[in-house]
Amino acid sequence: MSRLILIKHSSPEFVTTRPADEWHLSAAGRARCQPLAERLRPFAPDVIVTSDEPKARETGEIVAQILGLPVHTEPDLHEHRRRTVPWYDDYDALKRLILTLFDKPDRVVHGEETANAAYKRFGAAVDEVIAQYPEQTVAISTHGTVMSLFAQHRAGVDPKPLWESLQTPSFIVFHLPTFAIESAVPDVMGEPHS
């Protein structure tokens, strides 16, 4: 049985003077990759592909090392483009902006990319990765907003509660070729939710 596993990266080190797409994993984030790998093991991934953002790439590399899997990076698997968004001390204000992104998918409401443009880019990149590994289970280390948009469009999931539930790290397992969700693990330190 082939599957697609979308992994939300582990916990980054927040560098408030740098764009989030430049952040690396924190020490705690690196440590959380061990339980992430163990939670992924039963789904038998064959390969790990990563976003080119450091926190997702590092998550994928650590998990691949633990599981003894090949790993590589592909373009267009990155998060919704928001390079010019400043640091928000008020998490609730940031959360409202991201939730508005889902409500107004054709408008640039946060960052430099609409929700629909982010989904189109990310979905096409995921399809290319799946095509590279037919009949295999592919794990992609990526980001919460694009994961939520993908689940919305491919599996009919409401993206807002999904996005709110995803912790760092977490993952969603899809059956291929239907994209039905087999399992969602919003927090690798907690219990799986379906």
CA separation for the pair 160, 23 (Å, rounded)? 24
**CATH 3.40.50.1100 corresponds to the domain 3-185:** no
pLDDT at 194: 40
pLDDT at 192: 44
Tell me: the pLDDT tens digits for 107-162?
998 889 999 999 999 999 999 999 999 999 999 999 999 999 999 999 999 999 99
Q: Which residues fall within 8 angstroms of residue 42, CB to CB, at 6 or more apart? A: none
pLDDT at 157: 94
Instruction: Delimit the domains of the chain by residue range.
Output: 3-185
pLDDT at 92: 84
Amino acid identity, position 175: H
pLDDT at 190: 62
pLDDT at 186: 82
Tell me: the pLDDT tens digits for 69-116?
999 999 999 999 888 877 778 788 888 888 999 999 999 988 899 999
Tell me: the pLDDT tens digits for 19-62?
889 899 999 999 999 999 999 999 999 999 999 999 999 999 99
Closest CA to 160 of 147, 173, 171: 147
